[in-house]
Amino acid sequence: MEEDKVFSQLELLETKRDALHQLLCQAHFSYSMAKNIEEGRGLLLSYEAIPSTPGTLTPLCYVEGETEGQLQIDPCDGKPPRGRSSAEATAVNPIYYISHAPSQELKECQSLFQQVLQTAMEVCNVQRALLSSS
C-alpha cells in the first residue's frame, strides 16, 4: 500500500517535471520572439514608463535634419560613445524592453514565464511530499 503511494507520487513528479520542461522550451522560444520584436520597435516608447532621476537616460547619438536628404546622412556612425567599450555600446539593455505599450508577444512571454514559476513550485511541492513520505 505504501509502495503504491510512493510510485504514484513518483509518476506525478515525472509528469510535473515533463510539464516544466515543455513550458521552459515554449517560454524560451517566446522570449526570443518577443526580444526580436521589442528590439525592432524603437526601444523606448515613453520615457515616463521608466521612473528615473533627470540625466540618467542619455541618448547614444542625435539625428538632426528635417528633410529626407538630410536624414540619409546618419550621424550615428556606429562608434561607441566615449567611456564605453564597443560591446557595452552594442549590447541591448533589458531596461529598454519596458515600454508604454508592450507588444502582445511580450505579454505572452511574461505569461509563459509566470506559468513556469507556478509549475516549478508544483514540482518542489511534489518533491517535498515524496521525500517526507519515504
Residue 80 to residue 89: CA distance in whole angstroms? 6
Residue 91: pLDDT over 70: no
The per-residue pLDDT for 127 is: 93
How high does pLDDT run on average in the chain? 74
- pLDDT tens for 19-58 read 999 999 999 999 889 888 877 776 544 555 556 667 666 6
The count of structural domains within the chain is 1
Neighbours of 98 (CB within 10 A): 15
Residues 38/99, Cβ–Cβ less than 8 Å:
yes
The per-residue pLDDT for 2 is: 81
Residue 12: pLDDT over 90: yes
Structural domain boundaries, residue 124 = 1-50+59-132
Q: How confident is the model at residue 120 (pLDDT cuts 50, 70, 90)?
A: very high
